Structure 1
């Protein structure tokens, strides 16, 4: 039996790491753990989890065909934690055919109904 490593690059196995969140057995207690688990949701195609962790005011109408990207690596660059808002800058690598590509983003997370949710992408570091 092989152990599947978590896509978030924590080095932990998926079940013990983001799998707890993706399965609904737990909910991330920090914006950083939410960022990691959302990356894992993209990597595993977990549309339900992405919908649940997106602020309702900014949530797009994602479909399964929007989640076909082959994500390969997550690097969290910096995090500015807060009590009600948190900001994180990260780089996510993916494959497009034989080409290696990356997305770099600054994301804003908000405490909403006592849970962290993704709100939006920021243009600049605050």
Structure 2
């Protein structure tokens, strides 16, 4: 049995995000896409991040964007729609303290907008608040 998935779903990685990151399947919900994108950040999968970002909002991404040490994911709530969906989450990461005195865990708290683009869910952007 493989290790638990990085997205904290409780499923083995091989039965969760790995099928998306490998290209064998594509997430059919915004929450599954968000979880797989988190796993892509953890594993350094830039091609997957580019492929799953809306072309109108995707920034130039390079390996410097993958330097954060992500530690866990907490999905707070999600609302699946027919053409757009919203997922609120906290992505926890380890942040080095000043002076090199160990690290402190912090969270990126985001409410994310996802839309269907060419019949596939893609990440669009963060929202200021839950609509």
Which residue of structure 2 aligns with residue 107 of structure 1?
Answer: 112
The answer for unaligned runs of 5 or more in structure 1 is none
Q: Would you identify which runs of 4 or more consecutive aligned residues in structure 1 move more than 4 Å? A: none
Q: Note the 1:70-85 alignment, pairs <5 A.
A: 70-85=69-84
- Cα RMSD (Å) of the superposition? 1.0
Q: How many residues align?
A: 125
CA distance in 2, matches of 1:63, 1:28: 23
For residues 12-50 of structure 1, what are the alpha-carbon distances to aligned partners after superposition, in whole Å with 9 as ceiling and x for unaligned? 111111000000000000001001000100111110000
The answer for unaligned runs of 5 or more in structure 2 is 97-102
Which residue of structure 1 aligns with residue 18 of structure 2?
Answer: 19
Judge which range, 7-16 or 19-28, deviates more.
Answer: 7-16
Structure 1 position 122 matched with structure 2 position 121: no
Please give the TM-score of this superposition, normalised by the length of structure 2.
Answer: 0.92
Highest Rg: 1 or 2?
2
Secondary structure at 2:31's aligned position in 1? helix
Structure 1 position 67 matched with structure 2 position 72: no
Q: Note the 1:82-97 alignment, pairs <5 A.
A: 82-97=81-96
Structure 1 position 4 matched with structure 2 position 9: no
Secondary structure at 2:15's aligned position in 1? coil
